[in-house]
Amino acid sequence: MGDDVMIQVQDLSAGYGDTVLLEHVSFEVKRGEIFVILGGSGCGKSTLLKNLIGLLPPLAGKVLIEGGDLATASGDKRRKILRRIGVGYQSGALFGSMTLAENITLPIEEFTRLPPEAREAIAWTKLKLVGLENFTGHLPAEISGGMQKRAAIARAMALDPQVLFLDEPSAGLDPVTSAELDALILHLRDALGVTFVIVSHELASIYAVADRVIMLDKKAKGIIAEGRPQDLRDNSKDPFVHKFFHREAA
Amino acid sequence: MRLGCAHMAGVEDLLKVEPGEGGVRLVLSGRLDADAVADIWNEALGAARGKVTVDASAVEYCDGAGSALLCELRRRAGGKITGLRPEIARVFELFEGDEEPEDKSRKPVDSPLESIGRVGAEFFEDLRDQVAFLGEMVVVFATFRGGAQRLRWNDVWITFERAGVQALLVVGLISFLTGLIMAFQAAPPLRQFGVDLFVVNLVGLAMVRELGPIMTAIVLAGRSGSAFAAEIGTMKVNEEINALNTMGLDPARFLVAPRVLAGILVTPFLIVYADLLGVAGGFLVMLMRGFPTAALWQQLTSAISVHDVMAGLIKGFVFGALVAGMGCLRGLQTKEGASAVGVSTTSSVVSSIFLIVVVDAIFAVVYYVIGF
């Protein structure tokens, strides 16, 4: 695996039990890249994401994050790989009984020896990154949906991960908030060199942030297109890709 | 900026404190990752008092923890951090204007007097909610009609079965053992006076008038009231209650009325069942002590009148409404978040048991006054 490759997916088959959603999927994500996984409903985007972050073992094939395989790693080796990744869930998945600062200090407390004052200072810097430094003492229920998504990204950044996985970050957000979130993603990539893997089907966001996309298809059970979103929109001959990027009915 | 490998340097390699111009000069060096920062945090901030300058020219790497340390030192050092490498300075600029603002959202801790006042206010607010809920229930039951106003009888029977039939084992066991324990405890002292046959009076009256209704209501509160609170609370968190409202379906009629009616109907049945098994427990002890069944039965029927049974059953109707209503009310009062459902469930059980005892005391006084 080259130095510039962050994630390598090799001949992956994914699904649940006897239901196979994806077969023989292979691709690479480069360091510092914003990589977007696209596709229609039920094509296996979220299943692929669960395979990437180790929540679901592949039916076949491998997912390597900087050479480490979450599916087979255990103990310290697994924790080492997990420390390199952060995940922002679609709902935010913030802990409702904890303040935003406590949500962020929790993993820091578990994984480092830093004193409480230092943990709080880190939480403040992470919230500053996402523009929520004045909401450290708020509970998730006390802030808006867009703020919750930003707070979830701040929590995912708690341990300085090298790669952030985001599941539908723009879903349910108004265009302005969605654009702000896109700007934040670009900002974090440019300033901190974080690699992003994003599952999305919000076209505006995809054009704004994606360096490269892959499109999954339910019938093909795999990737039907790969490249820059603008290129796929303008040049793809695949009927589904064309309809997707031009928002045409099937 | 990348996460570093494990920290290998000593504190002295990372931080040096030297005399500076009219104060101290902190010299930071090496890799400022989480492990390194954990080693030097207290020492660095402890030294950063008065006039401080920070020389960071030898810092090779800085992760989130390192950035937090630099921010904190800049805040204390009044902005005098020098020599940062360009790549680190670029990240550090993200935290410009980092004078940590006073967090207005952080709620100050209440004084004891304020806490007492807040608890008192919450108690009266809750009492007001309970009275409003009672009124709403009265309106709902008084206005049942067909169509959108109809009662969902199917839900009533399903709840009746869950709260009643499935509670038989636990209610039966508790009542039987309560009767048995009472008889065991009462028989020896009464024997000293030669009146141990009166154990039947004691067990019979206590079960029928007091313990049968109370034990049944408490079991109902623990089993069914909490389930109502959890079920409706989860619906509230998932916005299903809002969905009902926007569909024009009144949650009080749709969700609460069937449960309250089922509670009212099922509790008297359970009380009769509890009475019978409690008395059976007492009988078992007396049979073991050599008393014939006929004598026990005659003693029981002479001790307990229809009035006594009715006194217990009337309580049953009220306790049933109270437990089911409190479960539903706490469910509807559920706030945001996963923990809120747990809070509602606990609150429904505690409030129900408290009210059961209070209402039972009121019954005792009223029965005494009217000679029931």
Task: Tell me the pLDDT tens digit for each residue of B155-193.
Answer: 899 999 989 988 999 999 999 999 999 999 999 999 999
Q: What is the pLDDT of residues A114-171, one digit of tens each?
A: 999 999 999 999 998 888 999 999 988 889 888 898 899 999 989 999 999 999 888 8
Q: Does A183 contact chain B (CB < 8 Å)?
A: no
Q: Tell me if B101 is assigned to some domain.
A: no
Q: Pairing mode, if any, of strands B15-20 and A222-227?
A: unpaired
Closest CA to B195 of B267, B299, B318, B54: B299
- CA–chain centroid gap for A115, Å, is 30
Q: Does B3 contact chain A (CB < 8 Å)?
A: yes
* Mean pLDDT, range A197-225, rounded to an integer: 92
List beta partners, residue A64. A8, A69
* Mean pLDDT, range A59-83, rounded to an integer: 89
- Residue B138 token pair: 């009265």
Q: Tell me if B150 is assigned to some domain.
A: yes
Contact present, B307 and B315 (Cβ < 8 Å):
no
- CA–chain centroid gap for B187, Å, is 40
The residue from B95, B112, B134 where one domain ends is B95
Question: Would you say residue A172 has pLDDT above 80?
Answer: no
Residue that the structure tokens 């206005």 belong to: B143
Range of the domain at B16: 11-95
Is A220 exposed, middle or buried (CB count within 10 Å of its CB: 0-12, 13-18, 19+)?
middle
Q: Are residues B273 and B209 in the same domain?
A: yes
Q: Which of A127-136, B35-44, B240-249, B313-322 is the least confident region?
A: B240-249
Is A27 exposed, middle or buried (CB count within 10 Å of its CB: 0-12, 13-18, 19+)?
middle
Q: Does B5 contact chain A (CB < 8 Å)?
A: no
For residue A250, what pLDDT is reported?
Answer: 62
Closest CA to B288 of B149, B201, B184, B137: B184
Q: CA-CA distances (angstroms) from residue A27 to A11, A168, A222?
A: 9, 20, 11
Number of domains making up chain A: 1
DSSP code string of A178-210 = HHHHHHHHHHHHHHH--EEEEE---HHHHHHH-
Q: How large is the ipTM?
A: 0.75
Work out the pLDDT band at B5, boundaries 50, 70, 90: very low
Question: Would you say residue B148 has pLDDT above 70?
Answer: no
Work out the pLDDT band at B97, boundaries 50, 70, 90: low
Which letter does DSSP use for residue B106 in this model?
S
Q: Tell me if B61 is assigned to some domain.
A: yes
* Mean pLDDT, range B15-33, rounded to an integer: 85
The residue from B80, B95, B110 where one domain ends is B95
Closest CA to A138 of B105, B107, B102: B105
For residue B6, what pLDDT is reported?
Answer: 39
Q: Tell me if B132 is assigned to some domain.
A: yes
**What H or E segment, with its residue span, contains residue B345?**
helix B338-370
C-alpha span between B226 and B350 (Å, rounded): 10
Q: Are residues B176 and B319 in the same domain?
A: yes
Q: Tell me if B167 is assigned to some domain.
A: yes
Provide, as residue numbers in chain A, all residues whose Cβ is less than 8 Å from the Cβ of B339.
96-97
Q: What is the pLDDT of residues B232-255, one digit of tens each?
A: 999 888 778 887 777 777 888 889
The separation between the first and the last C-alpha atoms of chain B, rounded to the nearest angstrom, is: 82
**Which amino acid is located at B296 in the chain?**
L
Q: Tell me if A207 is assigned to some domain.
A: no
C-alpha span between B35 and A118 (Å, rounded): 12
Neighbours of B117 (CB within 10 A): 12
Provide, as residue numbers in chain B, all residues whose Cβ is less than 8 Å from the Cβ of A137.
103, 105-107
Q: Tell me if A137 is assigned to some domain.
A: yes
Q: Does B338 contact chain A (CB < 8 Å)?
A: yes
Q: Tell me if A115 is assigned to some domain.
A: yes
- Residue B81 token pair: 């951090």
Range list of H helices, A38-83: 45-52, 75-83
C-alpha span between A64 and A8 (Å, rounded): 5
Q: Are residues B211 and B303 in the same domain?
A: yes
Provide, as residue numbers in chain B, all residues whose Cβ is less than 8 Å from the Cβ of A128.
94-95, 98
Q: What is the pLDDT of residues B298-309, one digit of tens each?
A: 999 999 999 999
Q: What is the pLDDT of residues A182-208, one digit of tens each?
A: 988 998 898 888 999 999 888 889 999
Among A115, A122, A161, the residue with its CB nearest the CB of B42 is A115
Work out the pLDDT band at B145, boundaries 50, 70, 90: low
Question: Would you say residue B110 has pLDDT above 80?
Answer: no
Q: Tell me if A124 is assigned to some domain.
A: yes
C-alpha span between B318 and A207 (Å, rounded): 64
Number of domains making up chain B: 2
Q: Which residues contact B81 (CB under 8 A, 6 or more apart)?
A: B54, B56, B70, B73, B74, B92
Q: Tell me if A71 is assigned to some domain.
A: no
C-alpha span between A205 and A208 (Å, rounded): 5
C-alpha span between A246 and B74 (Å, rounded): 51
C-alpha span between B51 and B77 (Å, rounded): 7
Q: Pairing mode, if any, of strands A212-217 and B15-20?
A: unpaired
Q: Tell me if A151 is assigned to some domain.
A: yes
- CA–chain centroid gap for B224, Å, is 15
C-alpha span between A42 and A250 (Å, rounded): 15
Q: Tell me if A77 is assigned to some domain.
A: no
Q: What is the 3-class SS of A110-151, one letter each residue?
A: HHCCCCHHHHHHHHHHHHHHCCCHHHCCCCHHHCCHHHHHHH
C-alpha span between B255 and B248 (Å, rounded): 13
Closest CA to B274 of B153, B177, B143, B372: B177
Nearest-neighbour CA in chain B from A95: distance (Å): 8
Neighbours of B86 (CB within 10 A): 6
Range of the domain at A113: 93-156
Q: Are residues B256 and B195 in the same domain?
A: yes
Q: Are residues B221 and B181 in the same domain?
A: yes
Is B134 exposed, middle or buried (CB count within 10 Å of its CB: 0-12, 13-18, 19+)?
middle
Nearest-neighbour CA in chain B from A221: distance (Å): 33
For residue A236, the SS3 value is: coil
Q: Are residues B193 and B309 in the same domain?
A: yes
Provide, as residue numbers in chain B, all residues whose Cβ is less than 8 Å from the Cβ of A142.
105
Q: Which residues contact A130 (CB under 8 A, 6 or more apart)?
A: A150, A151, A153, A154, A184
Q: Tell me if A48 is assigned to some domain.
A: no
Q: Tell me if B113 is assigned to some domain.
A: no
Query: Residue A142 and residue B338: Cβ atoms within 8 Å?
Result: no
Q: Are residues B315 and B237 in the same domain?
A: yes
Q: Are residues B61 and B23 in the same domain?
A: yes
Q: What is the pLDDT of residues B65-90, one digit of tens each?
A: 998 998 888 887 675 788 888 888 87
Work out the pLDDT band at B294, boundaries 50, 70, 90: very high
Q: Tell me if B110 is assigned to some domain.
A: no
Q: Tell me if B117 is assigned to some domain.
A: no
Q: Which of residues 269-288 of B touch A (CB under 8 A)?
A: none
Q: Does A135 contact chain B (CB < 8 Å)?
A: yes
Is B103 exposed, middle or buried (CB count within 10 Å of its CB: 0-12, 13-18, 19+)?
middle
Q: Are residues B329 and B231 in the same domain?
A: yes
**CB-defined contacts A:B, below 8 A:** 102
**Which amino acid is located at B272 in the chain?**
V
The residue from B95, B114, B134 where one domain ends is B95
Is A40 exposed, middle or buried (CB count within 10 Å of its CB: 0-12, 13-18, 19+)?
middle
* Mean pLDDT, range A79-87, rounded to an integer: 88
